[in-house]
Structure 1
Amino acid sequence: MYYINKNKKGAGSMIGEQYVQKVIDQVKQRNKGEKEFQDAVTEVLNSLAPVFDKHPEYVQEGILERLVEPERQILFRVPWVDDNGTVQVNRGFRIQFNSAIGPYKGGLRFHPSVNASIVKFLGFEQIFKNSLTGLPIGGGKGGADFNPKGKSDREIMRFCQSFMSELCKHIGPNLDVPAGDIGVGGREIGYMYGYYKKIRSTNDQGVLTGKGLTFGGSLARTEATGFGLVYFTEEMLKDNNLSFNRKTVVISGSGNVAIYATQKATELGAKVVALSDSNGYIYDENGINLDVVREIKEVKRGRIKEYLESVPSAKYVEGCTKIWEIKCDIALPCATQGEINEESAKILVGNGVKAISEGANMPSTLEAIEIIQNAGILFGPAKAANAGGVACSALEMSQNGMRLSWTFEEVDEKLQSIMKNIYKNASEAAKEYGEVGNILVGANIAGFMKVAEAMMSQGIV
C-alpha cells in the first residue's frame, strides 16, 4: 500500500483498507490494460482508508464503487480532410466522470497517446482537483488521438470543426465545460467555439474556457497553471521555513505551464536552469532566458534546441527524461504523466532536492512518489499544485455568467487566494488523519470529502 502510515494498524483501520482494496481490485478487473487509470485510482484510494474507518456510512452507500465509475463515457469518430485532400479519421473522447458538486469541467487533449485509459485517469484526477479549488465544478476530461504538430492552421481548423460537430451534443454552460490541455491552446479553442456557435445557433460563452480575450476569455488564464503551481509551492516551502529565493530550479516542459512557472519562480528570486520538450532539454547555468523560449515556443512553434542559436553558452541534451539528472533544490515537472520514474526519483533525492511539485497531471509514477516521500522530500501532488488552471477557468465561467471582465490583478489575487487555501486545506486534512506534512494524502482526503458529502446528500444516482 502506498502513502498510508503502516505503523497505525488496528482492528478499525483494517475496515477501511479492506474496502479500499476491494474497490481497487474491481477497478483492475473491469479496466484491464488501462494502467494509467488503474494507477490514478490506486494512488487516491490508498490515501482514503482512514476516512472509511471514521465514516462507515460511506462504505454502506457505495461511495467508492460509484466514484470510480464515470457517469458517462463518450467515444466518437472524427473524420477530416488534410491539405492533400486525403480523408483522415481520429478518435474523440469525452469522459464525464462526476457532477456531484457542479458541471463537468476538464480539458481537451490532442495528442497521439490519447486513449480511454489516459482520458479516464485525467478525468478521475480532475474530480479531486476541481473539488480542492473550492469552486462548484465537477470532474471531466476529453480529447482525441490527433497530433497538431506539423499540421497547417487549415488542417487544425477542419479537425476542430469535425470534433466539435459531435462534442457539441454533450456539452453546455451548465452541463460540461471543456478547456484546453496538451495540444489544445487558444487557436484550437477559438476554432471549436466558432463552430459551436454556428451549429448550435447560440452565444453561450461559458461553454468553453481558455477563450481569446476578445470573445469571453479571462485575463491571467494563460498564466494561471504556472503561476498557481508556484503560489502553491511557495506556501509549502514557507510552511517548512524555505522559499524560492536563491534556489536552483529545474522545470520540465516548455509550454504554458513551464513558461509561466519559470516567470513566477524567477520573480520570487529563484534561478531556473533547465526546460525541455519531447526531444530533449536545455541547460543554462546562468538562468533560462525566457524571452528566447517564448519566441521559440509561442511565436515560431519550434523545438527547444533552437535556444542554443540565441544562447550558444547553453547546453542541449537529447532525451527529455534525463533532465532530472541536473542537480537542483526544487523540481517542477510540467511536461506529461509518468515523466519522473523510480530511477529519476532516486537521482533527484541523491542530488539533494528539497521539494518536488507537480505542474503536469500525475508526472510522477507511484514508485517514484514512494521514494520521494520515504526520503522526506516535500511533495506537492498535481491535483493540488496544478489546480490553478482549472480554478482560473472557473473564474472565466463566472465572468461569462455575469457578462463581466475582471482585471489581471483581480484574477491573479483570486488565484493566489485559491492556491493558498488548497495548501491550507490539504495540510489540515493530513493533520486530522494522522499524516502530518503528507500533502498528497491531505489533498486526496480534502478533495474526496467534499465530493463524498455531496454524493451522500443526493442519494444513490
Structure 2
Amino acid sequence: MSWVDEVLEKQVKERWPWQKEFIQAVTEFVNAVRPVLESDPKYKKHAILERIIVPERTIIFRVTWERDNGDIEVNYGYRIQMNSALGPYKGGLRFHPTVNLSVLKFLAFEQIFKNSLTGLPLGGGKGGSNFDPKGKSDDEVRRFCQAFMTELYRHVGSDIDVPAGDIGVGAREIGYLFGQYKKIANLHDGGVLTGKTVGWGGSLIRPEATGYGCVYFAEEMLKTKGDSIGGKRVLISGSGNVAQYAAEKVNQLGGKVISLSDSGGTVIDEDGISGEKWEYVMELKNVKRGRIKEYVEKFPTAKYYEGKRPWGLAEAEIAMPCATQNELDLDDAKALVKNGCMVVAEGSNMPTTLEATDYLLENKVLFAPGKASNAGGVATSGLEMSQNSMRLFWTKEEVDSKLHNIMVNIHQSCLDAAKEFGHPGNYVVGANIAGFLRVAKAMIDQGF
C-alpha cells in the first residue's frame, strides 16, 4: 500500500467511518492529485496530505434561543477552520437540519481548493447549524442569529475568518449576524462577513455570482470544442439563488432552461423558463417562499414531477446540478448520456456521486467539479472584501467583468494542470491539482 493510500485508509476512512460526505470529498481529491503526490517526495516528507485533511481548528458550541411563544430551543453551532495557508479562513454558514460535522468538514475541505483556484488570498473554512429557518418568524430567526454570533464572534474577523451565506443563510441572516457582531465586539469590521446588503457594505452581483460563474465556466468548456451555450437545452436542478441566476445567465447567452426543482420535485417546461416565467420563479421563491410545483398552476403547459430529479426527464445538452450534495447518481448520469448531454457543470458542492462522475468522464462528457465551476460565489465575496478594505464600491459591470475574468482564469488553470499531468481535458484532475499546488507550496514555504 502506498503512503497515499495508507493516509486515505487509516487517517480518513478508518478514523472517521461515519463521516461519509467527508470521506467522499477526500477520496475524490486524493484520486485526482495522486500523480502529484507520488511523483515528488517533498509532499510525503512534509506530511502535506496528512496535514491538509485535518482542520486547523474545529469549533462546536451550543446555540440557545427563544421561540415567539416563549419556548426555549437548543441547536448545535459549528465552525470548521480548515486551512489558512493562503489567507484568512473563508467559507459560508449553512443553516439546515442536515448540518453535521461530516457535511461541514467536506464543505470546508472543498473550500480550500475552490478558494485557491480563484487566485485570491483566502484560506478555507465552513460553518453553520442544524437550525432550520423555514417556518420561523423574522423575530425567531433574528434571535437565533444573535445567539449564534454571541459565541462565534470571538473566532472571526476580517483577518482571521470571514463567513458568508450558504443554504438557509441569506442577506436577512447576514444582517442579523453582523448587527450582533458589532454590538458584542464593539467594532465595525465591515469585512467580517460577506453577502451583506448593498446599502451597508455588500457587493453588487454577489447573489448572482455562483450561478453566473457556473455558466461562464460551462461556456469556456464549450469553447474548447468550438461551441457555445447558444441554442442549447439546459437542465438545472434547484430553485434557489444559484439555480435562479444560472438560469438568467443561460437565457442571456441564448440557451434554453427547461427545468428547475426543489426538494418536492421538478418542473419541466419545454418552452423554456425565461422572461415572465423566470420573474415568476424569483417572486415565488424569494418573496412568497413557495414551492416550485406552484409554477405549473401559473403556467399549465409545463409539467411537474413530484419526488423526481430532472436528469432523466428530458433531453438536454447541458446539465447544471445546483441543489445539494449527491443529487446526481450513476443512474442519472446514464440517463444524461443517453439523452445527449455534452456538459455537466456543478453549481452546488459535490452534487455528483463518485460513480456518476467516473461514468460521465468515461463517456467523454465535459465535467466541471464544483470546486472550479461554482467558485464564482467566493470569488465575488473576495471582491466584496476588497471593496470593504479600500472603502470602494464597484459598479455591477465592474464586478461582473472581474467575476468573468476570474472564471476564465480558473478554467485555464484547470486545463493547464490536467494537460501537464497527463490527463488533458479532465477538469476533475485539473481543478484538484491546480488548487492543491498553490496551497501545498504555501504550507511548505511557511513551515505551516
One of 18, 24, 28 as aligned partner of 2:2: 18
Do the aligned partners of residues 194 and 419 (structure 1) sit closer, same or farther apart at CA in structure 2, a change above 3 Å counting? same
* 1:241 partnered with 2:229: no
Give the CA deviation at 1:351.
Answer: 1.2
One of 402, 409, 412 as aligned partner of 2:390: 402
- For residues 219-275 of structure 1, give each alpha carbon's deviation from its aligned partner in whole angstroms, at most 9, with x where no partner exists: 111110000000111001101222111100010000110000000001111000100
Aligned 1:20-169 pairs, distance under 5 A? 20-25=4-9, 26-169=11-154
- SS of the residue aligned with 2:428? helix
Q: Does structure 1 retain, via aligned residues, the 8 Å contact 2:268–2:313?
A: no
AA partner of residue 286 (structure 1):
D
In 1, the alpha carbon distance for the partners of 2:419 and 2:253 equals: 28
Give the CA deviation at 1:54.
Answer: 3.2
Q: Does structure 2 retain, via aligned residues, the 8 Å contact 1:282–1:307?
A: yes
AA partner of residue 204 (structure 2):
L
* 1:257 partnered with 2:245: no
AA partner of residue 371 (structure 1):
Y
- For residues 263-320 of structure 1, give each alpha carbon's deviation from its aligned partner in whole angstroms, at most 9, with x where no partner exists: 0001111000100011111111100120110110111111111112221111111114
In 2, the alpha carbon distance for the partners of 1:281 and 1:157 equals: 32
- For residues 197-228 of structure 1, give each alpha carbon's deviation from its aligned partner in whole angstroms, at most 9, with x where no partner exists: 11111100100000001110001111100000
- Which moves more between the two structures, 308-317 or 102-111? 308-317
Q: Which residue of 2 aligns with 1:316?
A: 304
One of 328, 353, 356 as aligned partner of 2:316: 328
* 1:196 partnered with 2:181: yes
In 2, the alpha carbon distance for the partners of 1:166 and 1:324 equals: 45
Q: Which residue of 2 aligns with 1:345?
A: 333
In 2, the alpha carbon distance for the partners of 1:209 and 1:256 equals: 15
Percent identity between matched residues is: 59
Q: Which residue of 2 aligns with 1:429?
A: 417
Aligned 1:183-332 pairs, distance under 5 A? 183-288=168-273, 289-332=277-320
In 2, the alpha carbon distance for the partners of 1:363 and 1:429 equals: 23
Gaps spanning 5+ residues in structure 2: where?
Answer: none
Q: Which residue of 2 aligns with 1:7?
A: none
- SS of the residue aligned with 2:422? coil
Give the CA deviation at 1:85.
Answer: 1.1
In 1, the alpha carbon distance for the partners of 2:17 and 2:37 equals: 26
How does the TM-score come out when normalised to structure 2? 0.98
AA partner of residue 267 (structure 1):
Q
- For residues 327-346 of structure 1, give each alpha carbon's deviation from its aligned partner in whole angstroms, at most 9, with x where no partner exists: 21100000000000111111
Q: Does structure 2 retain, via aligned residues, the 8 Å contact 1:281–1:323?
A: no
AA partner of residue 283 (structure 2):
E
Q: Which residue of 1 aligns with 2:426?
A: 438
AA partner of residue 417 (structure 1):
N
Q: Does structure 2 retain, via aligned residues, the 8 Å contact 1:104–1:177?
A: yes
In 2, the alpha carbon distance for the partners of 1:76 and 1:319 equals: 35
In 1, the alpha carbon distance for the partners of 2:297 and 2:103 equals: 36
Do the aligned partners of residues 121 and 217 (structure 1) sit closer, same or farther apart at CA in structure 2, a change above 3 Å counting? same
Gaps spanning 5+ residues in structure 1: where?
Answer: 1-16
Q: Does structure 2 retain, via aligned residues, the 8 Å contact 1:132–1:422?
A: yes
- For residues 155-210 of structure 1, give each alpha carbon's deviation from its aligned partner in whole angstroms, at most 9, with x where no partner exists: 11111111110111110000000000001000100110011111111100100000
Q: Number of residues paired by the alignment?
A: 444
Q: Which residue of 2 aligns with 1:8?
A: none
Q: Which residue of 2 aligns with 1:415?
A: 403
Q: Does structure 2 retain, via aligned residues, the 8 Å contact 1:20–1:46?
A: no
Q: Which residue of 2 aligns with 1:13?
A: none
Q: Does structure 2 retain, via aligned residues, the 8 Å contact 1:274–1:323?
A: no
AA partner of residue 8 (structure 2):
I
In 2, the alpha carbon distance for the partners of 1:84 and 1:328 equals: 49
One of 350, 358, 361 as aligned partner of 1:362: 350
AA partner of residue 71 (structure 1):
E
Q: Which residue of 1 aligns with 2:439?
A: 451
Give the CA deviation at 1:326.
Answer: 2.2
Q: Does structure 2 retain, via aligned residues, the 8 Å contact 1:272–1:287?
A: yes
Q: Does structure 1 retain, via aligned residues, the 8 Å contact 2:311–2:319?
A: no
In 2, the alpha carbon distance for the partners of 1:40 and 1:265 equals: 28
In 1, the alpha carbon distance for the partners of 2:290 and 2:326 equals: 24
AA partner of residue 29 (structure 1):
E
Q: Does structure 2 retain, via aligned residues, the 8 Å contact 1:105–1:177?
A: yes
